[in-house]
Chains A and B, each alone.
Chain A
Amino acid sequence: MNRFLSDLYHHLSAPSIVLVLLLLVVGSGALVASESSRSFSESFSLTVTYSSEYEFAYYVFDGSGLPVGGVAVSVSLHPANSSGPTVGSASGTTSTDGLATLDIAAPDRNYTVDYSVASGPRYYGFGLRHLAPGAIRTFGAIAPVEVGDFALTPYVLLAFPAPGGGVISGLSAGYYIHEPNSSTNLSGALGSLTAVPQRVHIPIAGGVPSGSILTVIVTNGTGAVIASFSQNAENPPGAEGPGGNVLLNWIWAMQFLGLTAATLIGYLGYARERVAGTLEPLLALPMDRLRIPVVRFVSSIAVLAIGVTASTAFLVYWLDRAFAIETPAVLVGTVWAGAMAEGMALVGVVFLISHLVRSYAAVLSVGLTLTVAFSLLWRGLTDWAAAQYGVPATVWSSMRWQGQVGVLSPTNAALNPVEWSLRLTAPGGSQLLAIDPSPIVAGLAMLLWALLPFAGALWLARWRD
């Protein structure tokens, strides 16, 4: 058995390391279990101009935009902007294509519509349409599953339950974003849609600013409008997809668990032993001085990888079990890589600190403090960059909070290891700054970030006791 495997085995057989892994795995598992056992029900209100010529189209979909049948739904009409007496109501159950058609006999006028889905084990997205038959009806419901607030990637995921479950392809789309506070609007072509069965993923550069109105128009090959929808990006009525929030919650949880676990892994794997002097028997063995921190770092990262992989697996299971969200492998991979990069950097920081101070408490506290300081440093730098380009602070804050700006750091508020890019777009629509490194450059930058603290630790190990 070579030295790396020996050290890895030594690591994994330590009760304290097992406890750290349990912290990650059980923590993630508890998160999954608590969410999976939750029962959801939801209701919304919408003001519509009612026409008796066409019925209400109720559509229910899961986290992946796939239609969900067998869900009890109900609709009731009240005088507009009033919760007065019910003018009419209807209820039904969605069919296999996720649709329920509900007819209500009532005079044509403006009404407030209350609509809801019954309680169920999963949080479904749902929506209600009361529009002229034709375009939408052709394709069934068109629904934004996730818009803007999904911090990892700014995009719109539309559900296109095609008749008979067929594949939609050959579509193109344009978008139009109206911001109430701005006289100008963002608009542009989305290009050809990447169509997968019954779902369309439309990345939008810069995302959809909070408070704006997003309109998506889908056309066929001849330019004819075949579907469209329009909604307030901040509060899409009746069409909230839970996926983004789920993932964000997990990331926040992972950030806490991951930071703690990475600190402890670095501490238990090297720093504690350096402070205690228990690495000295190894130093007396026939090996280079640097081999010990290298072997310990590699085995610490292997331990970290076990924890992060287990936790990521829980994430995928959670999204599928609780919300029927099919998680793209690329997204899972990038989240995994980002968490690993963060963890490696923190493990390296703890290694580094142990070469500067000889105190258990100091190693732990300084390591965590430095991590927070790095995050604040990146935030300060990006704030400064935004100010240099004249982006108002409130807009900048909103954009960053919603993950619509990727920052050249994996430690930004949204923990965005995917983007590794800096894009600033003024409210007027003009591109102020765009740094979009190639995946190779971005990967190297991430690796540099992950390994830089450890390189510092190696340098110290070479020259100091």
Chain B
Amino acid sequence: MLEVVGLSKRFRHHRTAAVADLSFRVAPGEIVGLIGLNGAGKSTTIRAAIGVSLPSAGDVLVDGLSITHQKASASRALGWVPESPVHDANRRLGQLLRYYSRMAGPDARGRPLDALADWGILPYSDRPFRTLSMGERKRFALAVATLRDPTYYLLDEVFNGLDPAGVAQVREWMLAQRRERHGVLASSHQLRELQALADRFVAVHEGRLIGEFSADAIPVSTQSRLQIVFRPIDDAGVTLLRSFGEVERTSNGVSVTGKSLDAAAINRALVQAGYNVARLEATDPDLEAHFLELVRSQR
């Protein structure tokens, strides 16, 4: 079990704590989404949990081992993908990975370059780190994190910068980790991705825990939204849709937000009015809505 226990972190010269008395758990075989606005303390929490940053108070226990006082042992069960991976800019990827592998000790896999192959960047092994794109850097960070086989992965905005193929690969990899009884703590602003993956969510705001709930317990929103593409888009059509909810023009259509929208009724009304409906898509704003509701409740 990965346990964040009363974690607080206060930076020098800062008035308020970046993280204040935060507690939650991540169990093996579980994906936990860490969600929050910018500056909420997600990265600070993950950095303290991995042992890169020292907590001002509280602790992080990894299978009962303190990351503060038993770091070497506790870190054996942790892998980290930082939000913005930073490595020696002039070193080649192969050099860096072999170095980290040796420094990781006996837990590291025997063929470190296999990790580059796993994440599709083996052809870049002779390239200096500075030449990588953001997505390639994130893939390299994933390769470093998977040099060993830790019980828990701490992923900080892991989807940022990845191309669609990369996002899909990370998604599949996270699900595989869950199947193999690894615990994953993932922070992200891409709530739809997280909602599709996570078993539970930890919501933080201004460094404090504002909610902890399972994916099943996300309340069904009273508001729903439809993305509609129809032709021609004219004022009459927009006026027609306003009878169902609030309408906003988008780049190629409109979005309709309202209480318990009936997609079939809207489609029928548009067709009967002579419009051609090219696409009608219901978005699922539940996690986002619930999170924003939690944030609003703090104000």
Segment with Cβ contacts to A, from B79-87, B205-213, B266-274, B289-297: B79-87
Segment with Cβ contacts to B, from A1-9, A115-123, A139-147, A152-160: A1-9
* A283 to chain B: closest residue by CB: B52
Q: Is B165 an interface residue (CB 8 A)?
A: no
A6 to B87, CA, bound (A): 17
Asked if A281 and B95 make an inter-chain contact with CB atoms under 8 angstroms apart, the answer reads: no
Asked if B87 and A281 make an inter-chain contact with CB atoms under 8 angstroms apart, the answer reads: yes
* B67 to chain A: closest residue by CB: A289
Q: Is B235 an interface residue (CB 8 A)?
A: no
A15 to B104, CA, bound (A): 24
Q: Is A53 an interface residue (CB 8 A)?
A: no
A287 and B75 in contact, given A1-B102, A6-B103 (Cβ under 8 angstroms): yes
Asked if A284 and B52 make an inter-chain contact with CB atoms under 8 angstroms apart, the answer reads: yes
Asked if B103 and A282 make an inter-chain contact with CB atoms under 8 angstroms apart, the answer reads: yes
Most buried by B among A282, A285, A464: A285
Segment with Cβ contacts to B, from A271-279, A347-355, A429-437: A271-279
Q: From residue 240 to 261 of chain B, which have CB atoms closer than 8 A to chain A?
A: none
Contacts of A3 in B (CB 8 A): 102-103, 105
A276 and B86 in contact, given A284-B50, A289-B71 (Cβ under 8 angstroms): yes
Q: Is B4 an interface residue (CB 8 A)?
A: no
* A5 to chain B: closest residue by CB: B102
Q: Is B53 an interface residue (CB 8 A)?
A: yes
Asked if A288 and B52 make an inter-chain contact with CB atoms under 8 angstroms apart, the answer reads: no
Q: Is B144 an interface residue (CB 8 A)?
A: yes
Q: Is B176 an interface residue (CB 8 A)?
A: no
Asked if B102 and A285 make an inter-chain contact with CB atoms under 8 angstroms apart, the answer reads: no
Q: From residue 59 to 94 of chain B, which have CB atoms closer than 8 A to chain A?
A: 71-73, 75-76, 78-80, 82, 85-88, 90
Q: Is A137 an interface residue (CB 8 A)?
A: no
Q: Is B173 an interface residue (CB 8 A)?
A: no
Q: Is B107 an interface residue (CB 8 A)?
A: yes
A288 and B86 in contact, given A6-B103, A10-B99, A463-B54 (Cβ under 8 angstroms): no
Q: From residue 1 to 30 of chain A, which have CB atoms closer than 8 A to chain B?
A: 1, 3, 6-7, 10, 13-15
A278 to B90, CA, bound (A): 12
Selected contact of A273 from candidates B82, B88, B103, CB within 8 Å:
B88
A-B complex: 3 closest residue pairs judged by Cβ atoms: A6-B102, A286-B75, A286-B76
Interface residues of B (CB under 8 A from A): 50-54, 71-73, 75-76, 78-80, 82, 85-88, 90, 95, 99-100, 102-105, 107, 144, 148
Interface residues of A (CB under 8 A from B): 1, 3, 6-7, 10, 13-15, 273, 276-278, 280-289, 291, 463-465
25 intermolecular pairs with C-beta atoms under 8 Å apart:
A3-B105, A6-B99, A7-B103, A10-B99, A13-B95, A14-B90, A15-B90, A281-B85, A281-B87, A284-B50, A284-B52, A284-B75, A284-B78, A284-B80, A285-B103, A285-B105, A286-B73, A286-B76, A286-B105, A286-B107, A286-B148, A287-B75, A287-B103, A464-B54, A465-B54
Additional pairs, 7, CB under 8 Å, beyond known A273-B88, A281-B85, A281-B87: A6-B103, A278-B86, A284-B51, A284-B79, A286-B72, A287-B71, A287-B105
